[in-house]
Structure 1
Amino acid sequence: MPVTESKALLPAPIDKHQPTRQRLWPLWIITLLALALAVALALWSWQQWNNYQSLQQSIASLESDTEQLDRMYGQTGSEQGQRLQALEDKLADQRELIATQQRQIDHNARELLEAGNRTRTDWLLAEAEYLLRVGNQRLMIEKDIRGALAALESADEVLAESDDIGVYPVRQQLAKEILALKGLADVDRTGLYLKLEAAIDSIHQLTDNALVHDRAPGFVSNNESDSPESNASEPGLIAEGWHKVKQTLSQVVVVRRLDEPVKPLLSPEQSAYARLNLQLMLEEAELAVLRGHQELYSRALAKASNAINNWYDSSNARIIALSKTLDELAEKNVDPELPDISRSLELLKARLAGRLDNGEGDTPENSNDGEQGDAS
C-alpha cells in the first residue's frame, strides 16, 4: 500500500493549543461607565431636586407677592375711590360757589345798571337812608345819643339838599326824633369809665395806714378821756392827784365802749384782699357802664361804698376823696330811656321804593315830573 494512501487513511491530526486566559477589562470598563452614569444620574437628580425646591420657593414668593400686591391694589383702589369722591364733592362745592358768584355778578350788574340811571336826588336819598341806618345803630346798639343825634341831623341836611318834596313826611318825623334826642341827658360813658379807672388806681395806692386801727368807732383810750374840761372841773390838789392816778392807770388799762359796733382790724393779707375786692366791684361798674345796665351799675357802686365804710378809715384823705367820687358816680344814669327813631327810616324806605316802582329815576325829566306830582 503506498504510503500516501496509508497516510490518507489515518485520522486527521489534532492541533494541541494551550488554553488562553479570559480578558476582564471590558467588564471593568462597563462597570466604571455604569458607575459614572449612576453618579451623573444622582448628581442630575440632586440638581433637579434643588431646582425643584428653588422653583417651589419662587412660586411661594410669587404667591406672597401676588397677595401683597392684591392687598396693596385693593387699598390703593379704596384710597383712589375716596379721593375721587372728595374731588367730586369739592368740584360740586366749586360749582355751587361759581353759581353763587355768577348770581352775585348778575345782581351787581343790575344794580350798576340801575345806578347809572339814577338821578342826583336818588343818590341823596340813598345817602340819607345810610345816615338814618347809622343813627339807629348808634342809638339801639351802642346807646350813643350824641352820635345818633349827629347822624339824624346830617340826614336832615341831606334831605333838605335833595329838593324832593316827597320827603316832607320824612323830615317831619326826623324833626320829632331829633327833638326827642336833644331832650335826653347825654351819658358820657367815656368819662364815667375813665373816672372808674382813676378810682381803681387810687385803690392800688392805698396802704395799711388807710385801714381801720385805733380810730374805729367805739374805741376810747384813757388819754382821750382826760379832757381839759373834766380836769378843770376839779379843784387844785385833788385834780392834780386824780390826773396822776389816771395817767398811771392809762398805761395798763384800755377802755373800750361796747355800745357801738367795733370795726375789725385787718391783717396785711386781708388788706390785699380788700383792695382786690374793691377793684373787682369797680370793674363790675365799668362793665355796667359799657353795657348801659343801670341796676348793675348802682349795685356795684353801693357794694364798693359799703366795703370802704366797713374796712377803711373814714378820716383818711384818700378814702374821703374816693368816697366822694363814688357818691358822685352813683348819681349818674347810664341807661336813660331811649326814644324810637326808626319811623323816619321806614318812611324814607317807602319813599325810595315808590320812586323806583314808578320809574322816576330813569331820567331827570321823569324825576321833575314826579316831584310836581307829589307837590300837587
Structure 2
Amino acid sequence: MTEKPADNDQAPAETIDAVPAAVPATGSSAPGTDTGPLPLGTRASGWLGPTALVLALVAAVLSGWAWYSSNVSGRLELGRELGRAEGINRQLERLVDNQQDMTDSLAALRGQAEDDRRTLEATLAAATTRSQAALGTLAAQQSADREQVQLELATLAASVEDTRRQMGTVQDDWVLEEIAQLLLLANQRLVLVGDVALASRALALADDRLHSLAGPQLLKVRRALKAEQAALAQLPKVDVDGLALTLAALIKQVGELPLKGDEDRPAWQVPADAAALTAVAESPPDAAGNDNSLSQVGRKVLDDLSDLVRVRRVDQTRVPKLTDAQRFLAYENLRLHLLSAQFVLLRRQPALFKENLRQARQWLAHYFEPVNVTGDYDASLAALQNQPLAVTLPDISGSLALLQAEIQRREIAQ
C-alpha cells in the first residue's frame, strides 16, 4: 500500500516536462517565416498549434486533478480509517482491561463468599449445638417440674380430702360460732345503743340457726333465747324516728320566731314623708272649697313638733333591741340545743335529751317574744320533753353464756 503512491507521484512530473518541449518546437519556426500574407492553408495551420497547447494544458490540469483526487483523498481516507482502527483498538484494550478487573473482582468476591459461607456454617453448627443442649436441659427441667407438680397435686388432694373430712365433723361447731356472734351482736346493740329492734332481729336469726341443729345440749340455749325474745317483745314501743323528725321540723322553724324587741315598733319610726302625705290626704277643704295653705303649714309644724317628743306609759322594763350579732347568737344557740337533743335521742340517752329540751325552753322564754307563735313552739318542746323514753332493758346475755359453755365443752371433747 505504500509503494503505489510513489509511482503516481512520478507520472505527473513527466507530463509537465513534455509540454514545454512542445512549445519551443512550435515557436522555432516563427522567426524563419516571412512577414507577408500567408496562403489559406498556412493560416489554418497557424491556430491549430495554440489550440493544441491549450488542450495539452487542460489535459495536464485534469490529469493533476485526477492524481490529487486519487492519491491525496485516498491517503486522507486511509488516515481516517487508521484513526478509527486505533480508537477501536484502544477501546478493545480498555474492554480487555475492564474484563480483567472484573475477573479479578469476581475472583475476590468468590473467595470472600466462600469464607463467609464457611464462617456461617461454623456459626450455624455452634448455634445448633447450643440449641440442642438447651433443649435437652429444658426437657429435663420440664420432666422434673412435671414430677414436682404431680407430687404437689397428690399432696393437695390428700389435704383437701382431710379438710373435707374435718369439715364434716366440725360443721356444727361453725354454726355454733356463727350463732354466738349473732348473740354477741344483739347484746352489744341493746346495751350500748339501746336498739331493741336490731337486738330482737339478731335473737330471731340465732334461734333459726339453732333450729337446724340437733342435740339435747342446745335445748337450754333455745329456752333462754325464747325467754329473752319474750322480754324484748314486752318493752314499750318508743317512736324514736318520729321524735327525731319532729325535732328536725322544729329546728327549721327557729328562724321564724320573733326575738324580744322586734314587736315594739313605735309610730314615730314611720317615715315623715308618708305621715305628711297621710295628713294632707285627710285634711278637709275650707268653706270656699279651696285649701288654706297657711293652715296646712301650721298644722304640719305642729305635727312635727309633736313627733319630737313622745310620752308613753310603760308598766314594765322594755328589753332593748338586739344587734345583728346578738340576734345570730340567739337563733344559733336555740338550734344548738335542739340538735343536741336530737343526737342524744338517737343514742338512746333520755336524761340528756330532756336536759337539752329544758335548756332550749329556757332560752326561748328569755330571748324570744312571748307571742302566739312562740307559745306554740314552746308547747311542742314541752310535749317532746314529756315523752317516756326511759325504758328498763332486760338482760339477754344468758343464752350467750350457755352457748359459749357448750362450744368450750365440744372443743375439750375433740
Q: TM-score scaled by structure 1?
A: 0.49
Q: Which structure shows the bigger proportion of residues in helix conformation? A: 2
Q: TM-score scaled by structure 2?
A: 0.45
Larger radius of gyration: 2
